[in-house]
């Protein structure tokens, strides 16, 4: 399974979401269930236990395949999956966001151990799912995980207790699924009171973008913080420019990445950094404009953004698409309501998807064609991802 994630947050996660059962907005005749085991074959998607015959189960799976085009949303503060037919399914912690492997076979469960947390790998390809302790991942206070895109393993780290920042190990560890072993990937920073935290592996798994920041903080980019690039083939780290703190997503070829940065006047710009020369980023945002949400097309050749003109008093954002070099920029939407805010943007399999927050602070998700026509409301809630968007 491949999932498109929107606007990767630079704030470092402290704990996973608490995903208890809730009353979801389920369409008439639909059933809300929980995810079970995925189909084991490459390119398929999450399998679910449900009375709804969405697809024929695999012999080794206990549920049905969740179709490509399924939307992963947040409703009432809880994550759900909405199938293309409108039916919804609730998602537990380890099957959502950073805790879930990209192929949906594995999840990392945050088991509470008194006041601490142990990391446990859950294999959903078996029935019932099998669990395995993650070495060197017991007794953590504020763990976070970052999977490789091929689902072969994940990096993890731990924030120290708020009242004892010196208790942090400060290093980034890597768990290999095949061997079941953990190794130190990035050593703890030499500077006192600093920790290293993973941001994202490159699509080919060769590079890890990570941050070094104060152990007392809840994010990166503060005083003394810096972004680093770790090469897994040489085990060497390289410091990146300070404005790469706004990392958004890797390019498909793993030779660069997109980041949001501020110009001297405070406008938000989309920049592409090449690993060959990260000190000379390509700025895609036109003058006197601020770009905010960003997403690549599935083929990696174009980009979608939300933007506002700097001189516009009401600062109403609209959606634009352009080539990866910034050329041929076209406006797709013509929003005019000051009480209408874009809260998510994903370039899906068959068009541009976005979420809007209205005057009642309720989010809805919409789809439009690549030329901006045929805008259609497709879901209630805020969009997080689309299955099969890559």
Can you give the residue range of the structural domain that contains 324? 264-390
End-to-end CA gap in the chain: 9
Residue 315 belongs to a domain: yes
Which of 110-114, 192-196, 287-291 is the least confident region? 192-196
Residue 339 belongs to a domain: yes
Using the predicted structure, report yes or no on whether residue 330 has a pLDDT greater than 70. yes
Residue 327 belongs to a domain: yes
Of residues 63 and 66, the one with the higher pLDDT is 66
Residue 13 belongs to a domain: no
Residue 142 CA to residue 112 CA, distance in Å, equals 11
Which of 50-54, 306-310, 324-328 is the least confident region? 50-54
Q: How many domains does the chain have?
A: 1
The CATH number linked to 303 is 2.120.10.30
Q: Which residues contact 9 (CB under 8 A, 6 or more apart)?
A: none
Residue 290 belongs to a domain: yes
Residue 60 belongs to a domain: no
Residue 132 belongs to a domain: no
Residue 302 belongs to a domain: yes
Q: Tokens at residue 75, please?
A: 């409703």
- Residue 30's CB: how many other CB atoms inside 10 A? 18
The per-residue pLDDT for range 160-185, each reduced to its tens digit, is 877 666 666 789 999 999 999 999 99
In our burial notation (b when 16+ CB lie closer than 10 A, e otherwise), range 277-299 reads ebeebeebbeeebbbebbbbbbe
> How does the average pLDDT of the chain come out, rounded?
79
The per-residue pLDDT for range 69-116, each reduced to its tens digit, is 889 899 888 888 898 888 888 887 787 788 988 877 889 999 998 889
Q: Are 260 and 291 in contact (CB under 8 A)?
A: yes
Q: Evaluate if pTM is beyond 0.95.
A: no
The per-residue pLDDT for range 338-352, each reduced to its tens digit, is 778 999 999 998 899
Q: Which residues contact 47 (CB under 8 A, 6 or more apart)?
A: 35, 36, 37, 38, 39, 57, 58, 61, 62, 63, 64, 65, 66, 104, 124
Residue 111 CA to residue 119 CA, distance in Å, equals 6
């Amino acid at each position: 399974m491949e999932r498109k994630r929107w606007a990767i947050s630079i704030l470092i996660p402290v704990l996973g979401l608490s995903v208890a059962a809730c009353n979801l907005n389920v369409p008439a005749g639909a059933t809300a269930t929980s995810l079970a085991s995925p189909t084991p074959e490459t390119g398929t998607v999450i399998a679910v236990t449900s009375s709804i015959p969405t697809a024929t189960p695999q012999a080794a799976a206990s549920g049905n395949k969740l179709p490509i085009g399924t939307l992963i949303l947040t409703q009432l503060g809880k994550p759900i999956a909405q199938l293309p037919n409108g039916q919804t399914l609730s998602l537990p912690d380890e099957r959502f966001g950073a805790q879930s492997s990209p192929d949906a076979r594995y999840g990392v469960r945050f088991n509470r151990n008194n006041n601490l947390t142990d990391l446990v790998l859950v294999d959903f390809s078996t029935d019932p799912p099998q669990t395995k302790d993650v070495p060197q991942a017991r007794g953590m206070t504020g763990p976070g995980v970052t999977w490789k895109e091929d689902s072969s393993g994940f990096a993890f780290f731990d924030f120290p207790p708020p009242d004892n920042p010196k208790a942090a190990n400060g290093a980034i560890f890597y768990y290999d699924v095949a061997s079941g072993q953990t190794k130190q990937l990035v050593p703890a920073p030499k500077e006192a009171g600093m920790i290293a935290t993973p941001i994202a592996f490159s699509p080919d798994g060769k590079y890890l973008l990570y941050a070094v920041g104060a152990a007392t903080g809840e994010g990166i980019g503060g005083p003394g913080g810096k972004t680093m690039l770790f090469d897994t083939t040489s085990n060497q780290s390289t410091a990146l420019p300070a404005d790469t703190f706004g990392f958004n997503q890797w390019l498909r070829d793993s030779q660069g990445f997109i980041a949001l940065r501020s110009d001297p006047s405070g406008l938000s710009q989309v920049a592409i950094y090449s690993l060959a020369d990260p000190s000379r980023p390509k700025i895609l945002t036109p003058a006197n404009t601020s770009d905010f949400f960003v997403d690549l097309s599935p083929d990696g050749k174009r980009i979608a953004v939300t933007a506002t003109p700097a001189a516009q008093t009401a600062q109403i954002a609209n959606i634009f698409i352009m080539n990866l070099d910034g050329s041929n920029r076209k406006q797709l939407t013509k929003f005019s309501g000051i009480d209408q805010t874009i809260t998510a943007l994903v370039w899906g399999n068959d068009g541009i998807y976005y979420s809007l927050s209205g005057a009642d602070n309720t989010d809805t998700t919409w789809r439009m064609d690549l030329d901006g026509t045929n805008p259609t409301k497709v879901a209630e809630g805020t969009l997080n991802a689309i299955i099969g968007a890559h």
